[in-house]
């Protein structure tokens, strides 16, 4: 028979999956079946020993028998236990109907050769049993790493064997479908194999977003993969999901900009940094005539921008909220003022440290130093106006401006809108998600236009709520690699940039712990932008919900705690490189 195409399928987490959320749960089931306490730990240890021996023998893969030969359990019937593990693997196996439909269509196509290509220590007999159990037709080719001493990951040598099989049948068109960006996609593309990424969410994410079936999964075709240097502390799959979300948010901002006929979009706070970088890399400022610029303001800066004597009470209430654990000097830093000596503070009835129930002390500071604070606010607003004039924002005849922020309740938009209103400009907000249903958001929607990507793009409300619940993770990933900006010292006309006042409070704790999270974060942001630039906008739209679900599932584990600086990421980097990168992008 003449074949024109070979389609290869990854097995686990693509064509089939497991009922259990963690593959190592299989070992616990085996331990219960054979009645040996601590079997799971012994099985994991045996696998690690088998890998060590594999490297010493200069082999590339291991077989399940290699693992059991390293099992440290006295008087154990190795063959019986090994068969028990295979039995549980079969029992826990489930079919991914989305991919199985594609698989069966390929099987039925007369001119298509079908293969299963998998990195696994179980041999092909297991895969045959599993397919027969689920009444799935057998493929023409089964390539398993433990039988071939070759694998998809690392050197990708298993794909070389796949190409040889294709060549034996005179086939040049080879496609591989898998769920791992590195082994299934990148290593396939290096060999000119067309690669299709199948992205599946974890079971915990499916529980949250069960209404999404079958859209909770996404399929994306690649003909080439961007050159991405993945940070060592995060998987390529997470980078991929972040890149899809970032690209879709940029496209959402573009759509809203055109719809509202605005000529400028302000990517505000540190959350907008990555979008501003992608906007520039895509050339959307020149291509669409819409200036996108990064505005490194914090909530404190936004509140000061929108404050004046007439609404000073609103300023003091907002500015003094969330002061738990702050030093009095930190409060003065927020306001851009020099802190007075401790003895003077005590005479004024102020404590050295502000605690959770001490808003009254902070309000007293705002009252006592009202004239100085208003003077500082006027200075900073003047510097900002000069900056916006200098970069051309205020020269545009349009009377509207878009503000992007990651989301939640719109406090920054509320105060920045007051500032822009003084300049005759209406500011509308664009967000990933808002705290939908909260009284604060509902009240602010009466006076402000707030556009949530999750809501506007028709995602189920359960996703928007899950994004808000997982907001710490999204803030971590989208936050720029520089400290919080507390204010502006002045406008530097020569460099057309603002001289920024940084918050060094978190800097001290990072320096003490020796964590240089800024460098890690710059690598992460660069990887996301590199990949997002190569994603087709149409595919980003299709895969947006699935990628959000994947990220939400990460937030529900210990994943966040494993990331550099995640315990205090409010101040990313305190190095010259971090601050220079900010200045270069103003």
Overall domain count for the chain: 4
315, 335, 369 - which closes a domain: 369
**Of 31-40, 334-343, 571-580, minimum mean pLDDT range:** 571-580
Q: Are residues 99 and 171 in the same domain?
A: yes
42, 60, 91 - which closes a domain: 91
Q: How far apart are CA 130 and CA 138, in angstroms?
A: 10
CATH of the domain at 207: 3.40.50.1000
**pLDDT, tens only, 529-564:** 888 888 888 888 888 888 888 788 776 556 666 666
Q: Are residues 11 and 25 in the same domain?
A: no
**pLDDT, tens only, 354-398:** 544 455 666 677 777 778 878 877 888 887 878 777 777 766 545
Cite the beta strand spans of 99-181 per DSSP E.
112-118, 141-144, 174-178
Q: Is residue 511 a part of any domain in this protein?
A: yes
Q: Are residues 329 and 412 in the same domain?
A: no
Q: Are residues 473 and 334 in the same domain?
A: no
**pLDDT, tens only, 316-325:** 666 666 555 5
**pLDDT, tens only, 288-317:** 988 888 887 777 778 777 777 777 776 666
Instruction: Please check whether residue 328 is in contact with residue 350, taking contact to mean a CB–CB distance below 8 angstroms.
Output: yes
Q: How far apart are CA 208 and CA 551, in angstroms?
A: 12
Res 210: pLDDT: 35
pLDDT band with cut points at 50, 70 and 90 for residue 444:
confident
Give me the residue label for tokens 């899950």: 466
190, 222, 254 - which closes a domain: 222
- Report the alpha-carbon angle 221-227-231, nearest 5: 105
* 109 three-class SS: coil
Strand order in the sheet with 5-9: 141-144, 112-118, 5-9, 174-178, 194-199, 218-222
Residues 6+ apart with CB under 8 A from 136: 15, 95, 100, 103, 104
Q: Is residue 227 a part of any domain in this protein?
A: no
**Angle (deg, nearest 10), helices 517-533 and 273-282:** 40
Q: Which of 178, 153, 180, 150 is nearest to 165 (CA)?
A: 150
Res 113: pLDDT: 93
**pLDDT, tens only, 163-172:** 999 999 999 8
pLDDT greater than 50 at residue 576: no
DSSP string, 223-247: SS-------TTS-HHHHHHHHHHHH
Q: Are residues 143 and 201 in the same domain?
A: yes
Q: How many other β-carbons are positioned within 10 Å of the β-carbon of residue 550?
A: 25
Specify the higher pLDDT residue, 576 or 305.
305
Could you list the residue range(s) of the whole structural domain that residue 72 is in?
21-91
pLDDT greater than 50 at residue 236: yes
Specify the higher pLDDT residue, 267 or 304.
267
Mean pLDDT throughout 53-68? 92
Q: How far apart are CA 533 and CA 528, in angstroms?
A: 9
Q: Is residue 392 a part of any domain in this protein?
A: yes
Q: Are residues 382 and 359 in the same domain?
A: no
Q: Which of 427, 429, 426, 425 is nearest to 410 (CA)?
A: 429
DSSP state of 183: I
Q: Which contacts of 229-235 are long-range, i.e. CB under 8 A and separated by 24 or more positions?
A: 229/523, 229/526, 229/527, 229/530, 230/182, 230/527, 231/520, 231/523, 231/524, 231/527, 233/520, 233/562, 233/563, 233/564, 234/524, 234/563, 235/181
Of 100-104, 130-134, 453-457, 484-488, the range with the highest mean pLDDT is: 130-134
Q: How far apart are CA 331 and CA 335, in angstroms?
A: 7
CA dihedral 464, 467, 471, 477 (to 10 degrees): -120
Q: Is residue 274 a part of any domain in this protein?
A: yes
Q: Is residue 162 a part of any domain in this protein?
A: yes
pLDDT greater than 60 at residue 98: yes
Q: Which helix (H) or strand (E) holds 284?
A: helix 284-288
pLDDT greater than 90 at residue 49: yes
pLDDT greater than 50 at residue 582: no
Q: Are residues 284 and 318 in the same domain?
A: no
pLDDT greater than 80 at residue 159: yes
Mean pLDDT throughout 30-50? 92
Over the range 23-40, which residues count as b (16 or more CB within 10 Å of their CB) and which as e? eeebbbbbbeeeeeeebb
Q: Which helix (H) or strand (E) holds 7?
A: strand 5-9
Specify the higher pLDDT residue, 475 or 144.
144
Q: Is residue 230 a part of any domain in this protein?
A: no
Of 231-240, 246-255, 319-328, 536-545, the range with the highest mean pLDDT is: 246-255
Q: How far apart are CA 321 and CA 311, in angstroms?
A: 16
**pLDDT, tens only, 395-412:** 654 578 888 988 888 888
Q: Are residues 436 and 554 in the same domain?
A: yes
Residue 173 tokens, joined: 């068109």
Instruction: Please check whether residue 336 is in contact with residue 501, taking contact to mean a CB–CB distance below 8 angstroms.
Output: yes
Q: Are residues 455 and 401 in the same domain?
A: yes
CA dihedral 205, 208, 210, 211 (to 10 degrees): -130
Q: On the CB side of 123, how many CA atoms lie within 13 Å of its CA?
A: 10
**pLDDT, tens only, 220-233:** 555 555 555 555 56
Q: Are residues 331 and 246 in the same domain?
A: no
Q: Is residue 231 a part of any domain in this protein?
A: no
Res 144: pLDDT: 96
Q: Is residue 228 a part of any domain in this protein?
A: no
- Report the alpha-carbon angle 221-250-302, nearest 5: 150
Q: Are residues 260 and 315 in the same domain?
A: no
Residues 6+ apart with CB under 8 A from 527: 228, 229, 230, 231, 239
**pLDDT, tens only, 457-515:** 888 888 888 888 888 888 888 887 766 777 676 666 666 666 666 665 544 443 433 33
Mean pLDDT score of the chain: 78
Instruction: Please check whether residue 369 is in contact with residue 319, taking contact to mean a CB–CB distance below 8 angstroms.
Output: no
Q: Are residues 283 and 418 in the same domain?
A: yes
Q: How far apart are CA 178 and CA 446, in angstroms?
A: 47
CA dihedral 137, 138, 141, 146 (to 10 degrees): 130
Residues 6+ apart with CB under 8 A from 483: 502, 503, 504, 506, 507, 571, 572, 573, 574, 578, 579
Mean pLDDT throughout 14-35? 88
pLDDT band with cut points at 50, 70 and 90 for residue 574:
very low
Res 332: pLDDT: 73
Res 227: pLDDT: 56
- Report the alpha-carbon angle 307-309-313, nearest 5: 75
Q: How far apart are CA 89 and CA 122, in angstroms?
A: 10
């Amino acid at each position: 028979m003449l074949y024109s195409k070979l389609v290869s399928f990854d097995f686990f987490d693509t064509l089939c999956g497991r009922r259990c959320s963690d593959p190592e749960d299989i070992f616990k089931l085996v331990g219960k079946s054979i009645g040996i306490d601590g079997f799971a730990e012994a099985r994991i240890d045996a696998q690690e020993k088998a890998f060590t021996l594999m490297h010493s023998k200069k082999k590339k893969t291991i077989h399940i028998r290699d693992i059991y030969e390293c099992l440290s359990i006295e008087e154990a019937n190795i063959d019986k236990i090994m068969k028990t593990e295979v039995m549980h693997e079969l029992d826990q196996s489930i079919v991914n109907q989305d991919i199985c439909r594609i698989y069966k269509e390929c099987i039925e196509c007369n001119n298509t050769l079908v293969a299963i290509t998998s990195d696994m220590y179980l041999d092909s007999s297991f895969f045959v049993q599993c397919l027969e159990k689920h009444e799935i037709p057998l493929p023409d080719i089964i390539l398993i790493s433990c039988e071939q001493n070759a694998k998809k990951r690392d050197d990708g040598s298993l794909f070389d064997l796949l190409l040889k099989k294709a060549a034996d049948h005179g086939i040049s068109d080879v496609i591989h479908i898998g769920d791992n960006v590195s082994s299934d996609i990148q290593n396939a593309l290096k060999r000119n194999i067309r690669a299709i990424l199948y992205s599946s969410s974890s079971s915990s994410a499916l529980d949250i977003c069960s209404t999404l079936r079958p859209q909770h999964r996404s399929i994306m075709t690649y003909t080439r993969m961007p050159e991405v240097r993945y940070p060592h502390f995060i998987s390529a799959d997470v980078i991929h999901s972040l890149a899809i979300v970032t690209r879709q948010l940029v496209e959402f901002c573009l759509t809203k900009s055109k719809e509202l006929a605005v000529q400028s979009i302000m990517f505000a706070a540190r959350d907008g940094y990555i979008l501003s970088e992608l906007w520039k890399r895509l050339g959307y400022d020149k291509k669409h005539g819409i200036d996108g610029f990064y505005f490194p303001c914090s909530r404190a800066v936004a509140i000061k921008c929108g404050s004046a004597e007439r609404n000073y009470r609103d300023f003091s209430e907002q500015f003094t909220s969330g002061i738990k654990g702050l030093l009095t000097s930190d409060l003065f830093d927020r306001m851009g003022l020099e802190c007075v000596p401790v003895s003077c503070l005590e005479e004024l009835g102020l404590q050295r440290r502000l605690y959770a129930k001490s808003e009254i002390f902070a309000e007293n500071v705002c009252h006592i130093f009202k004239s100085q604070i208003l003077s500082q606010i006027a200075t900073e607003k003047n510097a900002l106006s000069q900056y916006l004039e200098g970069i051309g924002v205020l020269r545009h005849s349009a009377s509207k401006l878009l503000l992007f922020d990651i989301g939640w309740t719109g406090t920054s938009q509320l105060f920045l809108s007051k500032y822009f209103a003084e300049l005759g400009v209406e500011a509308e907000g664009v967000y990933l998600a808002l705290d939908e249903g909260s009284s604060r958001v509902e009240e602010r929607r009466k006076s402000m236009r707030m556009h949530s990507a999750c809501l506007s793009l028709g995602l189920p409300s359960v996703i928007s709520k899950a994004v808000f619940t997982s907001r710490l993770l999204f803030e971590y990933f989208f936050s720029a690699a520089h400290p919080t900006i507390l204010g502006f010292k002045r406008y530097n006309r020569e460099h057309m940039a603002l001289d920024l006042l940084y918050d060094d409070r978190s800097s001290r704790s990072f320096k003490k712990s020796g964590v240089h999270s800024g460098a890690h974060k710059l690598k992460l942001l660069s990887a996301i932008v590199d990949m997002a630039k190569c994603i087709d906008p149409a595919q980003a739209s299709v895969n947006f919900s699935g990628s959000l679900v994947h990220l939400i599932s990460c937030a529900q584990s210990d994943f966040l705690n494993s990331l550099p600086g995640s315990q205090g990421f409010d101040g990313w980097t305190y190095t010259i490189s971090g601050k220079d990168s900010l200045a270069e992008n103003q």
